[in-house]
Amino acid sequence: MTGQTIQTLINTFTPTGGDVDALLELQRDEIEKLREKATETGWLGNALYRAADGSRLVIVTSFRSKEAKEKWAGSPEFAAHLKRIEPLVAHVDSMPVSMVGAFSGRREDPSLRLAVITGSTRDGRFADKPASWIARKAVQRGFDVQEIDLRDVNLPFFGDPPATDVQRQAVDSFRARIAEFDAYLFTVAEYNHGPTAVLKNALDHAEWRRKPAGLIGYGGVGGARAVEHVRGIAAELEMVSMQTAVHINFADYLTVSKGEKQLSDFAHLDRSADKMLDQLLWWGRSLRTARSALSDGQVGA
């Protein structure tokens, strides 16, 4: 399993004939046209800026990993996009950057390290859609986000004696990786009134204690039964599950699965996600402070 670090590009466009407005309008149309396909490859979002003198357009683009950026850059959709904007672009400068800090007028804590864990591995799964959606929202809220797809983790069933050396190494790597984070978000598919076996197995394999967890359920009744099941597991693992969860009901699930809408089109889901992220920020910071005090010997275990 390889780490996924957010990749950001700052693209500065000089428009043909100085017509920034025409280029801006075209780029907005292109974003809407390509949103679904780009999201599938790992695009997280664009921020558009106009230079103060009105001469250039700046677009800041983020991808969830280097592989995602390269996949999109090599796609036929991106090639077609470049051809469509070419007549309006005289020159473009592109600079890759990595965040090394963020500061404001008041002292801020370092960004919380958040793992977004895709909790289903079956073919034709829905889980990657809410995972990508919530990852984008979390980045916008200032989390340092990495996505972990359990499809990429070769974990044996917990306690299974026939586990191979490769699987045992995968377990050690997974445990070390999970320990790096301050908070977690899980996608929770509901099958037969419960969560997936692969998610339960992953929870059994690692150390999660004294850290917060957000849950995004989908399926019958918005995955509520599976979410409540995971809450019970989280409590036993000494995690703090957020009071607010995101529940994607079956009607919304079908609409998104058919490509008729995006999760971001549903105001009620956005509200739940924003509230959950608010709680995750508060609990993440509070528990990080408490863990730090514990490691310094200020609080009894």
pLDDT tens digits, 178-196: 999 999 999 999 989 999 9
Quick one: pLDDT band at residue 1, thresholds 50, 70, 90?
Answer: very low
Quote the domain boundaries for residue 17.
7-97
Angle at CA of residue 196, ends 190 and 200, nearest 5°: 130
Do 86 and 153 fall within a single domain?
no
- Looking at 93-107, 115-129, 254-268, which range is the least confident one? 93-107
* pLDDT tops 70 at residue 295: no
Q: Which of 97, 129, 155 is the last residue of a domain?
A: 97
Do 63 and 149 fall within a single domain?
no
**pTM exceeding 0.75:** no
Separation of alpha carbons 284 and 113, rounded Å:
9
Segment 197-250, tens digit of pLDDT = 999 999 999 999 999 999 999 998 999 999 999 999 999 999 999 999 999 999
- Identify whether 73 is part of a domain: yes
Do 241 and 168 fall within a single domain?
yes
- Looking at 82-86, 110-114, 237-241, 265-269, which range is the least confident one? 110-114
Do 93 and 133 fall within a single domain?
no
Do 45 and 124 fall within a single domain?
no
- Identify whether 220 is part of a domain: yes
3-state secondary structure of 58: strand
Q: Which of 97, 127, 153 is the last residue of a domain?
A: 97
Residues above pLDDT 90, as percent of the chain: 68
Average pLDDT along the chain: 89
Mean per-residue pLDDT for 262-285? 95
Report the CATH number that the domain containing residue 76 is assigned in CATH: 3.30.70.100
> Which of 191, 110, 195, 94 lies closest to 144, judged by CA?
110
Supply the pLDDT for residue 95.
Answer: 93
* pLDDT tops 50 at residue 3: no
